[in-house]
Amino acid sequence: MKKILVCGAGGFIGGHLVKALLDLGHKVGAVDKKPVEAWCQLHDAAESRTLDLQLRDACAEAVRGYDEVYNLAADMGGMGFIENNKALCMLSVLINTHLLVAARDCGAGRFFFSSSACVYNADKQKSADVTPLTEADAYPAMPEDGYGWEKLFSERMCRHFDEDFGVVARVARYHNVYGPHGTYDGGREKAPAAICRKVIEAVRTGRHEIEIWGDGSQTRSFTYIDDCIKGTLLLMGGDCAEPLNIGSSELVSINGLVGIVEEIAGVKLARKYNPGAPKGVNGRNSDNTRIKSLFGWEPSTRLRDGMEQTYRWIYDEMMRAGREGKASRVNLH
């Protein structure tokens, strides 16, 4: 049994990670800036605290006494949020910097940083028929402005704290993680959840149409949360000191993703395109050669299967919110 701290535990991935670590028998501390009633999941067996991890003293308080630290804390959201809040996204650099200092000073054995596929060079993502991105494609650097630059800088901080101070750091580049217990409205939601919500709203209101950002031809790979958590635990326990892709290699267009959700819902909607809305790069996919060679594993959940689980959860949440007159997001375990 280890004493493990999860930062950003009130978020989507963080909540799932806390549960996985508890299931493995570890003693888990959970920290987030949000009040616990706003967390995506709240686990009774974890020690849950509200702290602002942009503050150095808060990071020192949070890390003290823990063997390992997982940093999933960041001010972020979907493409609409990160394109319109670049400064807020970059301020997350304070979180990772102060947590690394605390890990060094408190003697934490291992440190995990959740990076993003947004670090990859934009010139390599101009075509919807994109060549899958290898870990080397982050350089020469031309990441997503704001959010991507913060992630790339923080990756380097992890590397140098490992080299200079002996903080054993592991870095994952997540590719569009989705699944149950995530944000699906409010402006920070990502494409899979947003599309599920829009389809459910269209069915409920009888207005059989859906707005799609861009022309729908842009492509992505989407990683189911269970695969994300498994890959994270493998990476944290392994010997790979370089950033590593954790992402599905199943490429789909946004139009194709809408089609999958329509099929799940049993509906066909008229599509209204919004070419002026944020849409990100034209194409992005994960090359999994490296993770397969190291661990004999890669994300394997089919997009159709993961989206059905996601759709059913969001549908149930929206129905419950409608009955209660409010959104109820916290789930006790």
Question: Which tokens sit at 201?
Answer: 């709203």
Confidence label for 332 from pLDDT (cuts 50, 70 and 90)? very low
- Over range 268-273, report the average pLDDT: 96
Residue 88: pLDDT above 70?
yes
Catalytic residue among 120, 147, 174, 315: 147
User: So what's the pLDDT on residue 327?
Assistant: 43
Residue 323: pLDDT above 80?
no
Residue 166: pLDDT above 60?
yes
The answer to whether the beta carbons of residues 234 and 295 sit under 8 Å apart is: yes
The residue ranges of DSSP E strands in 88-194, in sequence order, are 110-116, 168-174, 177-178
User: So what's the pLDDT on residue 321?
Assistant: 86
- Over range 128-134, report the average pLDDT: 97
Burial code (b: 16+ CB inside 10 Å, e: under 16) for 37-70 equals eebbbbbeebebebbebbeeebbbebbeebbbbb
pLDDT in tens, 5-34: 999 999 999 999 999 999 999 999 999 999
- Over range 211-232, report the average pLDDT: 97
The answer to whether the beta carbons of residues 247 and 173 sit under 8 Å apart is: yes
Active site residue 224: no
User: So what's the pLDDT on residue 170?
Assistant: 98
Residue 43: pLDDT above 70?
yes
Residue 75: pLDDT above 50?
yes
Q: Please, what is the average pLDDT of the chain?
A: 95
Residue 64: pLDDT above 80?
yes
Residue 333: pLDDT above 70?
no
Residue 91: pLDDT above 90?
yes
User: So what's the pLDDT on residue 322?
Assistant: 78
Confidence label for 78 from pLDDT (cuts 50, 70 and 90)? confident
Q: What is the Cα–Cα distance from 321 to 326, expressed in whole angstroms?
A: 5
Nearest to 259 by CA among 190, 311, 326: 311
Residue 325: pLDDT above 80?
no
Helix axes 254-265, 303-324, angle to 10 degrees: 60
Residue 268: pLDDT above 60?
yes
Residue 326: pLDDT above 70?
no
Write down the H helix ranges in 166-302: 191-205, 225-237, 254-265, 289-295
User: So what's the pLDDT on residue 324?
Assistant: 65
3-class state of residue 173 by DSSP: strand
Q: Cα separations (Å) of 72 from 153, 171, 177, 249, 255?
A: 15, 11, 13, 23, 30
